[in-house]
Amino acid sequence: MPWDLSGLITSTLSDQDWKSGPTHVAREIEKIEALFSVRQSLSELEKDRSAVFANSRLGIGGNNPPEKVELPSSVQDNYAIIWAVADEVAEQAEAEEPNKSLLLSALKKLTEALKFCLSWVGQKADLAVDTLIKWSIPATGGYFVLNPSKFQALIEAVKNRSAILP
């Protein structure tokens, strides 16, 4: 168990919780673990989002990268949706009493937008186009397309958190 999670459990559970028995404590720890998982996923995404927006250089050859590819407006729209939903989830993660319906709505939007963007990338079968996409997507705001596992981790964490909420 990560130290951060241990600290969150000990600081969140009251003496009354501990006195309520192992079933109650297990249920409360499950809630805390779900919240911790959401926060960890959001933290990873936020670090990467900051890095992507702060530095558009692309590493080796960054002084002479290929020209940027203009993403279709539908992909750009879904990109905006994904980051807006991540912000909504972050807000709910910090709320004392999160809104379950808002989390479920955010989960649906995130899943749909991510599927759309991944299907767009999947349609790019030509190696030359794929190479160009890999070079240009980080600079054009397509971070999520290259890192779907981080968003999938967020989706799973939100699902688990929503399932526990009343």
Q: Residue 137 pLDDT > 60, yes or no?
A: no
Compute the distance between CA of residue 48 and CA of residue 44 in angstroms, rounded to an integer. 6
User: Residue 81 — φ and ψ, nearest 5°?
Assistant: -60, -45
**Is the pLDDT higher at 50 or at 90?**
90
Q: How many CB atoms lie within 10 A of CB 115?
A: 12
Write out the residue range of the structural domain in which residue 36 sits: 3-164
**Closest of 58, 46, 108 to residue 83, by C-alpha:** 46
Look up residue 119 and give its two tokens: 């299907």
Domain count, the chain: 1
Mean pLDDT across the stretch 109-119? 78
Contact present, 160 and 104 (Cβ < 8 Å): no
Residues 6+ apart with CB under 8 A from 79: 71, 113, 117, 141, 142, 144
18-48 pLDDT tens trace? 999 999 999 889 888 888 888 888 888 777 7
* pTM: predicted TM-score of the whole model, two decimal places: 0.62
